[in-house]
Copies of this chain bind each other. A is one copy, B any other.
């Protein structure tokens, strides 16, 4: 199955990348953009017996490695039928 993890900078944390991309978009004429935040997307292929088990394992991965909880938030979804898109 596949876990799709999204890691984003916490709302109060400065996001220089987002600020710069927003300015870049403005230069390109996308002036309707009021805010940009840039985070990470992590696709994890894993084996698990149940969705519940997958959920708790991915939760642990996020806590321990995938997200830096000092400055980042994370969320994820589990796709039981998902398979590697290669």
Contacts and interface: CB of A to CB of B under 8 A. Distances in A.
Interface of A: 6-8, 11, 21, 24-25, 28, 30, 32-48, 57, 60-61, 64-66, 84-86
A65 B21 contact: yes
Contact of A41 (B28, B39, B47): B39
Contact of A65 (B24, B37, B40, B86): B24
Copy number in the complex reads 2
Nearest to A38: B42
Contact of A66 (B7, B21, B43, B86): B21
A84 B34 CA distance: 9
* Nearest 5 pairs of A and B residues by beta carbon: A35-B45, A39-B41, A41-B41, A32-B47, A37-B43
